[in-house]
Amino acid sequence: MLSVKGLNTEYKTQKGPPVKAAQNVEFEAPKGVFFTLLGPSGCGKTTTLRSIAGLERPTSGAIEANGRVVYSSSQGVFVPPNKRNFGMVFQSYAIWPHMTVFSNASFPLEVRKNKLPKAQIREKVMKVLHAVGLDHLAERDATKLSGGQQQRLALARALVMEPEILLLDEPLSNLDAKLREKMRFELKRIQRELGLTTIYVTHDQGEALALSHEIAVMNEGRIVQIGSPRAIYERPANRFVADFIGTTNFVDGDVKGFDDQTKLWRMSTPIGDLMVSSDAPLTAGGKATLSIRPEDVELTEEAPPAGRLLNLANGVVDQKVFLGDIVDFQVRVGDVMLLSRAHPSLRTPIGDKINIRMDPMKCVALPAEPAAAAQAAA
């Protein structure tokens, strides 16, 4: 298990105050879990990973791996990177071009202080090459590998040392789209089979959702939400998370009150009065923003079913885009444009009226953020 507590990492600048790259970062990654740090460029995710690896020295906090303290500002502990027993794969694979696949993978074992016998080294190397599907290419020159094969070789080199924790810094970003998708499955398979605690850094939301057991979304050096991929996507904690993860509709409105019978909130919005859900406390009379995913904006030409609690509205098809397995509709409701993701069997022409229905549990109300609330009040 990896535990990170109150981690702060700063970079000094020639002029002005230091850059606070990671601020009070805290999370726990249980043994065998694939844990992802997700966020836009400059949010502090790579700095956090490098601090865990020991490649950056934090200003404060603590890092513990399987009960062993590798960094603690209060205890004055800083274990060097080469003594942490963490494997790391960078965005640049750093494959040695003058070596074979086998030599690249065996290099960490060849240069270690307590060198193993050659037979044991070969056994370990072939085991990890088999795990990443490169055992049949052991004697091939590394320069003759494809991008995906080089990525797997970099992974093998990290795994051969039998690390306690595997750290991956955007390892798929240099691959083309199809290969990247294939390597997601490969990474997930290898991680699951080896049972390795893995900390993964990416800015790619789809990658994070596909690979992770848990995701920590970061913004401006801080973790703003931790949860399972489904929880992060379906129940975002704030507007930033809702906007960054996938596509969503934002609808601002006024909170009217709480309905004790349905356990839902009532809101007045430009598309009508709606029943909505919220994981955060709302204030009657206050402002809130709804996040509604396109696939949860259901479109139908028929009348809505009776007996089911739904938010209903009427709109006009403004635009639509055929994408093969889905059709994206833009539907105008008054002054609001809603994006809906529908099955291709729905063929309503542009300009025609259409019925909209939305499950209240899928209409997630996010409390107005301080700056937005102050601006609205002014």
pTM above 0.75, yes or no: yes
Write down the CATH number for the domain with range 248-377. Answer: 2.40.50.140
Q: What secondary structure letter does DSSP report for 94? A: -
**Those residues with Cβ within 8 angstroms of residue 86's Cβ, 6 or more apart along the chain or in another chain:** 52, 53, 54, 65, 163, 164, 165, 166, 167
CA distance 83 to 71: 12
**Local mean pLDDT, 10-residue blocks, the chain (378 residues):** 96 85 96 96 94 95 96 96 90 81 90 82 90 89 86 88 91 80 85 91 93 96 97 96 95 96 95 95 94 96 76 95 95 96 95 95 88 46
Domain ranges of the chain: 2-240, 248-377
* Ramachandran angles phi, psi of 346, nearest 5°: -80, 115
Residue 374: what pLDDT?
Answer: 44
CATH class of the domain at 2-240: alpha beta
CA distance 300 to 355: 5
CA distance 241 to 227: 11
* Ramachandran angles phi, psi of 174, nearest 5°: -90, 0
Listed residue (285, 208, 274) closest to 241, CA to CA: 208
* HSE, side-chain direction, 13 A CA sphere, residue 187: 30
Q: Helix, strand, coil: what percent of the chain each, to 5?
A: 30, 35, 35
Q: Token match 């995701």: residue?
A: 215
CA distance 134 to 104: 12
Task: Write out the DSSP string of 265-290.
Answer: EEEEETTEEEEEB-SS---TTSEEEE
Residue 377: what pLDDT?
Answer: 45
